[in-house]
Amino acid sequence: MSEIPQFKAVLAHVEARESEVAGQAGRLRDQIAELTTRLREFETESEHLQITRKTLLSLPAPAPVDDPLRAEVPEHPAYQQILTTLADTGHPMRARDICEALDLPILPKNTEGIRSKLKHLVDRGILTEPETGLFTQPHP
């Protein structure tokens, strides 16, 4: 039977197809091995993230940290007047402008006193000084 030409052609076709299928199966095994490795890596990372989340959730809440730069406004009425003036105008002001708004005489002692208070409010983080001598409330 192996002498029949048609039989030889069929056997050759079967052998070629067998070789082709074996090659495809080998490539699929390689892909499966690569995907299995990648899957293990993702599973490991997922486990680590779960452990991290669990650890973070088990930690006690940190005590609130007081921001020393965000201290309360000093009680002296001049500070309240300065902040009210800046809030009313809604734009940055200089010490001299605040003196005028507060109806203080434009004298060096008044201007320097206001400037000192403004600097004190900047140090506490209550005001900002976007440029030298110009004071404003910080933007939220």
Q: Which of 68, 85, 86 is nearest to 123 (CA)?
A: 68
**What mean pLDDT do residues 66-91 have?**
80
pLDDT tens across 43-56, in order?
999 999 999 998 88
pLDDT value at 12 more than 80:
yes
Burial class of residue 88 in the structure, from the number of CB atoms within 10 Å of its CB (0-12 exposed, 13-18 middle, 19+ buried): exposed
Structure-block tokens of residue 30: 């390689």
The domain 68-136: what is its CATH number? 1.10.10
Residues 135 and 93 sit within 8 Å (Cβ to Cβ): yes
- Listed by start position, the domains of the chain span 1-59, 68-136
**The amino acid at 59:** L
Measured at the CA of 57, the angle between CA 52 and CA 59, to 5 degrees, comes to 100
